[in-house]
Amino acid sequence: MKNNIFLNLILILFTYINCSFRTTLFTRMCKEKKGENLIISPLSIFQVLSLTTNGAKGETQSEILEVLQAKDIEELNKINYDIYLLSKIFQQLILQMQL
């Protein structure tokens, strides 16, 4: 029971991390693919763009940060670190539930 509460809490946190980016991405892709089936992974897209942002400089970095809706590279890296921590906690809870 206790593990289920933590598991639900983690899923809720994952849902709200950078929700605005995911909503914007999905909305735009639906408009482009109107009438077609659409399967995307906003988290994967976010993380790949985050990696790209860390390697970019100047205007390119600023533009990607704007798309990812992060004010600067430090905030973006904090979001990704939070995602990492949540995924580790999630993995541990899944392992504990299997025991």
Distance between first and last Cα of the chain? 14
Q: With cut-offs at 50, 70 and 90, classify the pLDDT of residue 72.
A: very high
User: Is the per-residue pLDDT at 23 higher than 70?
Assistant: yes
Token pair of 58 as six digits: 């100047």
φ and ψ at residue 34, rounded to 5 degrees: -55, 130
How many domains are contained in the chain? 1
| Nearest-angstrom CA–CA distance, 99 and 93 | 10
The pLDDT value recorded for residue 98 is: 74
| Residue-range definition of the domain harbouring residue 41 | 2-98
Residue 20's CATH number: 3.30.497.10
Can you tell me the mean pLDDT for 46-57? 94
Model confidence, pTM: 0.71
